[in-house]
Amino acid sequence: MELRMKLHSHRFIPRNADWTVAAIAGFGAGGILMLLELAFCAVMDLDPWRMPRLIAAMIMGDAVLQVGGYSLAVLASALTVHYLLGTFFGLVLCALIAPFQLDSSHGMALLAGAVFGVALYLFNFYVIATVLPWFIEARGWATLLGHVVFGMATALIYRLLERPGRSA
């Protein structure tokens, strides 16, 4: 009896991502991340409006950080930025997944997404925080976990929705 293992190569091949699905995956995973952040705020007894203010400050300026509580303008700005960034980073992740065939299995997609989530966390809270220093206060395990879940959700949604023949 002969035992054969089928190994899937993850070398680079010229294959584009399914861009529509990639955008949907990033957008959806951004929503999952927002819900997770709200859950963390509830569990850790934190102000649920703090993270939206940190995000909104990217376009509204750091003056929005001086006050607390609910603001429709802050919330609308934060949602806009959050979903645009989620969509953008979903496109980036899927642009990496497709040519390296990291969507060959659920496990591989989840692993690629988790690694991307860690890299995104480090980029956002250690590189971007040098320009937008108010993000330093958001560093921590909860934010790291949220970004790992974002990456995993993006990769899994992409794998599940990717349309055969749409990647060239």
> Tell me, what amino acid is at 98?
A
> Tell me, what amino acid is at 34?
M
Residue ranges of the chain with per-residue pLDDT less than 70: 1-12, 165-168
pTM of the model: 0.89
For 47-115, list the strands marked E by DSSP: none
Residue 86 exposed, middle or buried by CB count within 10 Å (0-12, 13-18, 19+): buried
Give per-residue pLDDT as tens, 26-74: 999 999 999 999 999 999 999 999 999 999 999 999 999 999 899 999 9
Which residues, 6 or more positions from 39, have their beta carbon under 8 angstroms from its beta carbon?
none
Do 30 and 87 meet the contact criterion of CB atoms below 8 Å apart? yes
3-state secondary structure of 128: helix
Residue 103 CA to residue 159 CA, distance in Å, equals 6
Spell out the domain ranges in the chain.
Answer: 24-45+84-161
Task: Give me the pLDDT at residue 14, please.
Answer: 73
Handedness of CA 73, 123, 48, 65 (dihedral sign): negative
